[in-house]
Structure 1
């Protein structure tokens, strides 16, 4: 009996020993599985649609500055779908509707009609304007505060209109009448002539507005303005910019023109308060990079303006009119 009890006791001890060994095996840390290398996410790529109203040195420079700045920021990650409306506003709508259909990541609208077409085409895709004079006027925003607050922002090419009026006085203090020549189809041109007229009248000039509807009546209206004015003022008007030859043929050597921007001045003007449209495009491109990378929200971005203005003159036109150039002016580069 004692032998049986001893055998049972020994057997129990062996079972417990085996269980303990088994427990120790289970507690041993399992070998960690080999780590799978993390996958590198594919680089972001962006498509930007560019709608430019017309081929013109100022607009061309703004587009180039925009592309250069955005390429500097994003490199090969950005591609451009660049299209030109050849001066036809309805074509802008066709172009931007194509951008919307193709799902571009951002639209750059170069000039007011392009901006208006883009804003009408989409409320979702970010839109940046450039070479746009006054966004409140262009988009029909009353009491514009400087930030659109929707999917639209951009840069303005507006030079100080009081300084442009002062330029008329600086060059032609003895003049009595100033004719304001512009295209009535361009809301920003109307804004400029209305504003500068107030400043000119404060300086003692008698002002008359000479609006033309398009190139069909541009020559006759320009002739009427030249016949009845001592000086003409032409704002940053796209139709005038594309047809400076018409103005120059009528005014050259007879009636001086103060222009709102360098391209118009180079074609038919005496002097201008100039901005760099290339630099304006660069500023727009930097805004675009922030939007595409998520650094900024277009709805919160205020309109930006040219950082500096330069007084420039058209050397050949001044010589033909026998004008003495005031101090502080730079000659417009030719060629």
Structure 2
């Protein structure tokens, strides 16, 4: 398959996602049954973002031109991809990068998120049989020429050991933060709620910590967060909320709440499900400086940084961990 054929197929896949026919609806429902953290709302959010931000012919063409991807890949490599399963189709961008560059790929999907990616690849197979030579699935990744693996800090150590002899990208735990000034508008706080609550905060681009000025007024923030109070109706989320509330009370730790999230002062970047950490700063410049080279931070939301509400809407060139996957693939 040449580059233009691949772009046309990917654009068709985006149209398929947006059309939402019976077959696709059934697949999304199956994915939701398999993983109860994958609610229909958040599956729709993830797949629509992929269709609109990634799978548009003009965007794909511009992206390919930016990297001077050749029309034909005359020496395709086999790239092994280990996908995470924290949010729906979180590994799709890796699949997309390998596919558009014309390399072959062997995917080991997460057991928590294998329904959606397998279905979308099956659609490509039905439209063009040549894609069967480009994409396959396996529980064991052996004999690949390069590897892209995403997992926890613990699993990353194993990935480094097993794949050290091959070209590789290894990703670890990351999270995102928001840097607030106290002058945010109600509309901005409303969008910040999306950055915090979407996907239950399980994504590396979810905001799990706030940096706020001293004497910050949390009331407008908690009021804005009320839009997601309905999450407390979901058993698994409510269970986490109740558990973390009990921990805070037993530890006699000060907290604030709007019934769907717990705000707790902490130095930790990562926060449990249903909890949002915060830390006061004296100088916003010092707070920014501490975040610039922090390897645990995926992105920073706030003024002069990523727009509020933009954390879970990455573009084609928003590479996880800041590692340019396209450059990596084209240099194989």
TM-score, length-scaled by structure 1:
0.34
TM-score, length-scaled by structure 2:
0.34
